[in-house]
Amino acid sequence: MLLGVAGMVGTGKSTLTYALATRFGLQLAPESIDSDNPWLSLFYGTPGGMRAHALHLQLHFLATRFEAMRQMRGKGGSWILDRTWYEDAEIFARGLFEDGLMQPVEFDLYQRLYSELLHSPAARPPRLLLYLHGPLDTIISRIEQRGRVAEKETDHRYWAALHDRYAKWIAAFRHCPVMTLDVREYDLVEDPGVVDEIAARVRRRLEPRIPQTELWPAVRVETQSA
């Protein structure tokens, strides 16, 4: 069984993912940045790099993501995933195309490959997607209070565009059932005990698929994201 947790920066994805992994004894696939990615420095650090290497960067992310998913399927058991491959392709890669950093012919090639990968056993949809959302001002406030330095220094226009893309994406999302969580209704940092309420909602949606033994130590596997 696979659960997915989705939402933009500042919604508390990672905190909730780890809390539910521990609560239900699920193996944990956290979001991470691939330190061996040769395209990151070219994309961010060379003149014209964003336009020249957008496709290369996103193909590397896609290949690494599906490699991790294949490994998870091979290990078996129940997992919870911090960010999904759907977001990689349908929000971040599409965003580069919409911003003019990926040419139409490049994005068409990316989409063809992504569509084929969706039919692979590794891409079997999650049983449930937990989608974290909230007003833009709430999310920006949390980023400024708790985010990484680079996130705090990011132009608010980027967060506004990302917020809009997430809203459009989830409105059209049909890959699996979705349970939405408004981040204004709970705060796992200030009140960790609220995970019990969220876990109860997840259990009601997924009985009897959630493991019956809870509070096992979470097991981690590294994944890749944009």
| Residue-wise pLDDT tens digits, 81-134 | 998 999 999 999 999 999 999 999 999 999 999 999 999 888 889 999 999 999
- Does the N-terminal peptide bond of residue 125 adopt cis geometry, omega within 30 degrees of 0? no
| Residue-wise pLDDT tens digits, 121-164 | 888 899 999 999 999 999 999 998 877 787 888 889 999 999 99
C-beta separation of 37 from 60 below 8 A: yes
**Which residues, listed in sequence order, are joined to residue 82 by a DSSP beta bridge?**
5
Q: Is 182 a catalytic residue?
A: no
- How far apart CA 72 and CA 195 sit, in angstroms, is 25
H-helix segments, 25-148: 39-45, 49-75, 85-87, 94-98, 104-117, 136-146
Residue type, 97: F
- State the pLDDT confidence band at 214, using cuts at 50, 70 and 90: very low
Q: Which of 82, 108, 137, 196 is catalytic?
A: 82
- Does the N-terminal peptide bond of residue 121 adopt cis geometry, omega within 30 degrees of 0? no
- State the pLDDT confidence band at 1, using cuts at 50, 70 and 90: confident
More confident residue, 152 or 198: 198
Structural domains of the chain, with CATH: 2-206 (3.40.50.300)
Percent of the chain predicted with pLDDT > 70: 89
Provide the whole-model pTM.
0.84
Q: Which residue has the tokens 């911090």?
A: 82
Do the strands 2-6 and 27-29 form a parallel or antiparallel pair, or are they unpaired? unpaired
- State the pLDDT confidence band at 64, using cuts at 50, 70 and 90: confident
pLDDT of residue 31: 67
